[in-house]
Amino acid sequence: MKTKVRKAVFPAAGFGTRFLPATKAIPKEMLAVVDKPIIQYGVEEALAAGCEEIIIITARGKSAIEDHFDISYELEASLEKRGKTELLELSRKVSNMANLSYVRQKEAKGLGHAVLMAKDLVGDEPFAVILPDDVIDATTPCVKQMIDVFDEVQGSVLATMVVEGPGISAYGVLDGSPLSNNPRIIEARGMVEKPKFEDAPSKNAIIGRYILTPKIFELLENITPGAGGELQLTDGIKGLLKTERVYGYNFEGIRHDAGDKFGMLKATVDFALKRDDLGPPFREYLKSLSL
């Protein structure tokens, strides 16, 4: 097995029902935080982490994602004609961004099934999985932090964050022990999907970033579908745990669930406030609100 993480898989074939009606005709992954589709944040993160190949799992109705990362001749010609050089550069930057491949998931049979669609394109090497709804604000890109951990531990790495209180029940929760030399790294014993608060084995919630070894494909091919006929990625990872070491990693940064309306609002405010152009007037506007 090669050991460098060169490929990043973006499952983007879900229905995005939490964001209806916006997602009836627009892919959830194309909803923007400020002025950038959420999937572009993830792609930029993967590239900044050194990934060279981006594999996007798409489905019917998701062609806007392909169009977004493609050249838009009409738009570019029009911008060029009107002398809008900065906007032209912005548009070209997106289409030149990465080496992208697309695989269709014909039926939304779950996250595990979506990842399995990338088997042939990934081959026999470790790879990253990035859920585009999780937009992460971090000084060192979250996937870069995880690849550094992977290089150290040579086992699959799941990004986790500490969730206090009953909110933990919305996540897959890691059961494990922190390493003595780096307590951010947790050697996993198991994981529990959406436990009751009182049954949660820890406060470490698994979020939408994974570095996985290729063994996961064999396991995903052999697991039985869970609720709603879906193949769960966590069931595949539980299988990995039987033969390989798997680690949680409490990454440094803030994760926004932009696939959820409230999470998207928070992400928009946080990212807008950080912008040089929008931050100062937006801050003034927020202060003027009599809340």
Residues that bind ligand UTP (CB under 6 A): 11-19, 28, 57, 105, 108-111, 113-114, 131-133, 259
Kindly tell me which of 12 and 192 has the beta carbon lying closer to ligand UTP.
12
Taking the complex as a whole, the smallest distance from the CB of residue 87 to ligand UTP amounts, in Å, to 29
Q: Which residue is nearest to ligand UTP (CB)?
A: 14
Taking the complex as a whole, the smallest distance from the CB of residue 231 to ligand UTP amounts, in Å, to 8
- Token readout for 197 is 């608060």
Spatial separation of the C-alpha atoms in residues 24 and 29, rounded to whole Å: 12
Taking the complex as a whole, the smallest distance from the CB of residue 270 to ligand UTP amounts, in Å, to 20
Kindly tell me which of 112 and 176 has the beta carbon lying closer to ligand UTP.
112
Kindly tell me which of 79 and 174 has the beta carbon lying closer to ligand UTP.
174
Cα-based angle 259, 91, 209 (whole degrees, multiple of 5): 30
Kindly tell me which of 13 and 173 has the beta carbon lying closer to ligand UTP.
13
Spatial separation of the C-alpha atoms in residues 271 and 113, rounded to whole Å: 32
Q: Sort residue 50 into left (φ over 0), alpha (ψ -120 to 50) or beta.
A: left
Taking the complex as a whole, the smallest distance from the CB of residue 238 to ligand UTP amounts, in Å, to 18
Sign, CA dihedral 159-239-113-155, equals positive
**CB of 272 within 8 A of CB of 279?**
yes
Kindly tell me which of 19 and 271 has the beta carbon lying closer to ligand UTP.
19
Taking the complex as a whole, the smallest distance from the CB of residue 260 to ligand UTP amounts, in Å, to 7
Q: What phi, psi does 158 have (nearest 5°)?
A: -115, 130
